[in-house]
Amino acid sequence: MANTETNSTKKKAKFGEGLGSFLLAVAAILAFRWMLFEPYVIPSGSMIPTLLIHDHILVSKFSYGVRVPFTKKWLFKNSEPQRGDIVVFRSVEDNGYFMIKRVVGVPGDKIEVDQEGYVKLNGEKLETKILPVSAAPESQAPYYPVKESDLGGGTYADFDFFEENLKGVQHRALLTKGAARFFDRPMTVGPDEYFCMGDNRDNSKDSRYWGSLPRENLLGKALFVWLSCDETLPFLPFLCNPLELRWGRFFHGLK
């Protein structure tokens, strides 16, 4: 009888140890995602050619600070977002919806967008360079921005690809030829706010629509693409189809 009770006690102790280890592991994973890094999947083409639909990216949650869990309050702040940073944030219009854009204006900047779609920063048009478009592999055509099939509709001829110098940060962007544009009024970025735009300038709902992004909405800075695919599995749309991987984009740094 005593031996049976001893075995039962040992089993309970082992179960308790196993449960404790499991809960500790879960807590460690949650803390890692809350404080340090978190993966996200790109759902739309608003950041083409920098990011493509079904790109899986890693985001640094620590870059701009650490916040109180499940709130917008900061425990402490690290560096401030800089022009050119690609940031993930909670939508200004819907707190439960996450978005990704590029920081174009920081506090105090005056932003304008002319009728051709190009940006003026503090009264000065940003330096741009038209990029030649080629269907050759990127190793053979250094300005090859994206496959035609990744454009989300249309052909190369429907877009103007260019490189923009964002006061020292060079990145690729595109404009849709013949697009109607409405944002022609200057906007001054307020304290603790940022003006954000998609690199696919005529196919992005961004600060031109909903205004400056409050710092409290920031979630982190996008670092690199670690996985990418043309198609996902039909029965598990959040997983890449292993037959449709974009191998050349694996561990592709973002700028």
- DSSP letter at 62 equals S
Average pLDDT over residues 154-171: 90
Q: Is the dihedral of CA 184, 167, 45, 59 positive or negative?
A: negative
Lowest-pLDDT range, 24-28, 110-114, 190-194, 195-199?
A: 24-28
Catalytic residue numbers read 46, 101
* Number of helical H runs and strand E runs in the chain: 2, 19
pTM attached to this predicted model: 0.83
State whether residue 26 is helix, strand or coil. Answer: helix
- Contacts by 145-152 with C-beta closer than 8 Å and gap 24+? 145/49, 145/172, 145/174, 146/48, 146/49, 146/52, 149/230, 150/48, 150/52, 150/53, 150/230, 151/45, 151/48, 152/45, 152/48, 152/53, 152/203
Name the most confidently modeled range: 119-133, 143-157, 190-204: 190-204
139 Cα distance to chain centroid: 25
Q: Which percentage of the chain shows pLDDT scores above 70?
A: 81
Query: What are the extents of the domains in the chain?
Result: 1-35, 38-253
Q: How confident is the model at residue 107 (pLDDT cuts 50, 70, 90)?
A: very high
**Inter-residue contact 81 to 64 (CB < 8 Å):** yes
Residues 58 and 33: their CA atoms lie apart, in Å, by 11
pLDDT at residue 21 above 80?
no
Q: Residue 17 has what pLDDT? A: 53
**Inter-residue contact 216 to 198 (CB < 8 Å):** no
Q: Taking the domain 38-253, which CATH number applies?
A: 2.10.109.10
pLDDT at residue 84 above 70?
yes
